[in-house]
Amino acid sequence: MTARHLSRAFAGIFRREALRFVSQKARFVSALVRPLVWLVVFAAGFRAVLGLSIIPPYKTYILYETYVVPGLAGMMLLFHGMQSALSMVHDRETGSMRVLLASPLPRWFVLAARLLASTLVALPMVYAFLIIARFWHMRPPLWGYAAALPAIVLAGLMLGALGLLVSSLIRQIENFAGVMNFVIFPMFFSSTALYPLWRLEEASAVLSGIAAANPFSHAVELIRFALYLQLNTLSLAIVVGCTAVFFAGAVLGYDPGRGLWRGRFVP
C-alpha cells in the first residue's frame, strides 16, 4: 500500500464526509444556532450577575462573552463529534462501513481518515461562529484566529476520537441518542466552558476537581489560550494524550476479534 493509494483513499473519505455535511443544511444551521442562543441569551444573564471580572489567564477586565465563546466553540466540536459517531453507527448498520473496513486499507487508517475528515469538515462551522461572535465583544487579535486553528483541530480530533470509541460500543442506532446525552451534557457542564476554574473552586471543590480532570476542559482551554496567542502546555499534553487513548480504544473496538467487542461487528 503506497502513499499514493492512501492519499487517494483519504480524498475519497473526505469527499464523502464533505458531501454528507453539505447536503444536510439543517445540520449546519442547527450547529450554528445552538451556540448563538447560548451566547445571546444565557451569556447576557450570566454577565448581569457576574459583571466585569478578572478572568485568568489574561489578567485583564473582559466581558463574560469573551470568556464563554471558546467554550461554545468547544461545544460545537463536541456535538459534531457525537453526530459523526452517530453516522458511524448508521453506516455500520446499512453496510457501507463494512465495505470500507473490508478494503485492503489498514483498519487504523480508515478510522483515522474518517476522524480527520470529520474534523476538517467542522472547521468552517466553528470559524463562522467565531466570526459572528465578534459582534458580542469577542475580539481576539486577528492572528489569534490563525493560531487557534491547530488547537481547534486537536480538540476536534480528541472529541471525534471519543465519538468513535463510543460508537464502537453501541450495537443499535436506537440506543445512541441516550448515550449522546449521557456523554455530552456531563462533559459540557462539568468543564470550564462556562466558568473559569477558580470560580468553580469558590463554589465547590468537588466540581472544580472534576472540571480539572475533564478532557473537554483542556480542549476548551487550549482553544481559549490560542485565540489570545498563548499556549497552554498542560492542556496540549492532555488533549494529545486523550486523543491517542480514545483512538486506540476505537481501533480495538472496531476489531471484531479482540476483547469486549468480539463478535459485535463483522466487516
Q: Give the model confidence (pLDDT) of 127-172 as tens digits.
A: 999 988 888 767 788 898 999 999 999 999 999 999 888 888 776 6
Is 158 domain-assigned? yes
| Statement: residue 198 has pLDDT above 70 | yes
pLDDT at 96 (0 to 100):
65
Lowest mean pLDDT among 16-20, 189-193, 225-229, 240-244: 16-20
Is 265 domain-assigned? no
- Per residue in 243-259, pLDDT (tens digit) is 999 999 988 887 766 54
Query: How far is Cα 250 from Cα 115, in angstroms, rounded to an integer?
Result: 11
Contact (Cβ atoms closer than 8 angstroms) between residue 194 and residue 71: yes
Is 134 domain-assigned? yes
Query: How far is Cα 223 from Cα 235, in angstroms, rounded to an integer?
Result: 9
| Statement: residue 89 has pLDDT above 70 | yes
Is 264 domain-assigned? no
Lowest mean pLDDT among 25-29, 61-65, 220-224: 61-65
Contact (Cβ atoms closer than 8 angstroms) between residue 10 and residue 116: yes
Domain range enclosing 247: 3-258
Phi/psi for 228 (5° steps) reads -110, 30
pLDDT at 74 (0 to 100):
92
Is 263 domain-assigned? no
Is 147 domain-assigned? yes
Best-predicted range by mean pLDDT (60-69, 81-90, 107-116): 107-116
pLDDT at 90 (0 to 100):
72
Query: How far is Cα 253 from Cα 264, in angstroms, rounded to an integer?
Result: 9
Is 168 domain-assigned? yes
pLDDT at 258 (0 to 100):
54
Once rounded to an integer, what is the mean pLDDT over residues 36-43? Answer: 75
pLDDT at 55 (0 to 100):
44
Beta strands in the chain (DSSP E): 53-54, 61-62
Once rounded to an integer, what is the mean pLDDT over residues 226-236? Answer: 92
Phi/psi for 254 (5° steps) reads -95, 10
| Statement: residue 98 has pLDDT above 70 | no
pLDDT at 151 (0 to 100):
96
pLDDT at 140 (0 to 100):
82
| Statement: residue 119 has pLDDT above 90 | yes
Structural domain count of the chain: 1
**How far, in Å, are 58, 165, 198 from residue 48 at the CA level?**
21, 40, 19
Once rounded to an integer, what is the mean pLDDT over residues 9-34? Answer: 78
Average pLDDT, the chain: 79
Is 267 domain-assigned? no
pTM value is 0.84
Query: How far is Cα 189 from Cα 176, in angstroms, rounded to an integer?
Result: 20
**How far, in Å, are 21, 46, 93, 120, 128 from residue 125 at the CA level?**
11, 25, 28, 10, 5
Once rounded to an integer, what is the mean pLDDT over residues 164-181? Answer: 74
Q: Kindly state the DSSP code that residue 61 receives in the 8-state scheme.
A: E
